[in-house]
Amino acid sequence: MNGLPLNLNHIALGHMLGDIVSDLGGPRFIWQLGVLVLVLAAAWLIARPISRRLHAAHVNDTFALRFAWSSLERAVFPLIGWLLVLGARYALVGVMPVSMFRLAVVPLFGLTMLYLAFYVLRRVLSANGELRGMLVLVQRVLITLMWVAMVLYVLGVLGDVVDYLDGIRFSVGGKQKVSVAAMLMGVVWILLTVLVAMWFGSWLDSRITRARALDANLKVVLSRVTKAVLLVVALLLSLSLVGIDLTVLSVFGGALGVGLGFGLQKIASNYVSGFIILLERSLKLGDQITVSTYTGIVTQIRTRYTVVRNGDGDTLVPNELMVAQAVQNHNERGTVRVAVRVQASYAADPETVLALLVQCAEGIPRVLTEPAPAAFMVLFADSGIEYELGVWINDPHNGKLGVQSELNRAIYRCFKEAGIEIPYPQREVRLLGTVGLQQGASGDAAVSSNASVST
């Protein structure tokens, strides 16, 4: 190794690899390797019970928390190993070569930081199913960046790569020039600050959720506003740390304003409507509502939409619809009215029909006896008299179509047994004037005036 040029020894391979190659094959290398193995074995013996205690303390938690704590359990060994190897390096620096210790510190420190970052990521993102794809992507990016940085650091060319990237500059906003290195550092700072902001936001969200003095809607508002403010502050702080002038963002702010004015009107309206609903407390989680054609229980109030759950599944109702249209809240009474209409012949006695309709509602599942079913004579239609049968149910989230179907079947069966005719539309066509009707091949014509044909 002494025959290598000086620049190749200290730049291409770096100090670490140069010292290791110079110690390789001698007794100094074997002593270093033996002491390093003993130090790592001691770190493993210390880390194992700590990891077991962490696992046992969170074995009954949710999957998201256990998934996050698994990363922290894996970080225990490299963290303790890094501390012990670092202490052994400084303790033995005057006794024996420490090139192996300096090399081992790099991956141990990198793995510690990596698993701690994974812990924060999983704690923040794994609880939300919509963000698990982002979690996998960010983890892969962090792993790649960490190993590339460690390899470049060990080879001793990390500084040269940073200087080269710092020399590549381009203009941003026509005033300030930003290098590629600054952009990469900006991405790293953005990731770090956003992770810290999201972790702190999740911790604050859990505290707000457990607060008993706050209303449920106010908790949601505070949680959403806090997370949004923390993300904005994290982005601005990360850009300032890199040295990017924040005035260049005015161009993007103007473009965003134009986009909101033209293409994002509905989205902006839904977001504003969501905050109006939460602040006014007009709806709460668990309310049974009917809006437009949707009936069900409110399970989530998001900033863009409200989730209404019924027997057919979850319906995402835009918040703008909740504000602009009439919303019927069934929570005070706890019941919902279901009505069906049917026609009966004019020959049938209305009192008999009304009494028969009430009997049809008896014995049908989900129909309440209090309030009692009621029948009404609605109007005199073209083909017959129209009646309405109204019943009450207390579980509209299971849907109303099944109850309506049972009522219609019972009405059809009862009317058929009682001999009451359900009329169908009839039309009468009259032929006015003189019309020639040819009969057969004889050519005789029959002339009729005011002839009528009934259908």
pLDDT tens readout for residues 44-90: 999 888 888 887 877 777 666 777 777 788 888 888 988 888 888 88
Mean pLDDT of 269-273: 78
pLDDT at residue 356 greater than cutoff 60: yes
Instruction: Please state, in angstroms and rounded to a whole number, the distance separating the CA atoms of residues 368 and 276.
Output: 35
pLDDT tens digits along 274-330: 778 777 777 777 787 888 777 778 888 877 788 888 777 788 888 888 888 888 777
Instruction: Please state, in angstroms and rounded to a whole number, the distance separating the CA atoms of residues 408 and 339.
Output: 10
Instruction: Please state, in angstroms and rounded to a whole number, the distance separating the CA atoms of residues 351 and 355.
Output: 6
Two tokens at 105? 């510190």
Instruction: Please state, in angstroms and rounded to a whole number, the distance separating the CA atoms of residues 30 and 18.
Output: 17
Instruction: Please state, in angstroms and rounded to a whole number, the distance separating the CA atoms of residues 257 and 388.
Output: 53
The more confident residue out of 4 and 100 is 100
pLDDT (0 to 100) of residue 111: 83
Two tokens at 9? 């020894």
Nearest 10 degrees: Cα torsion 233, 238, 240, 245: -100
pLDDT tens digits along 210-222: 777 676 667 777 7
pLDDT at residue 409 greater than cutoff 80: yes
Among 122-126, 274-278, 438-442, the least confident range: 438-442
Confidence bin at 6 (pLDDT 50/70/90): very low
Q: Return the top range by mean pLDDT from 66-75, 127-136, 148-157.
A: 66-75
pLDDT (0 to 100) of residue 172: 58
In sequence order, which residues have a C-beta less than 8 Å from that of residue 397 and are 6 or more positions away?
288, 295, 296, 297, 309, 310, 311
- Provide the 10 A C-beta neighbour count for residue 39: 20
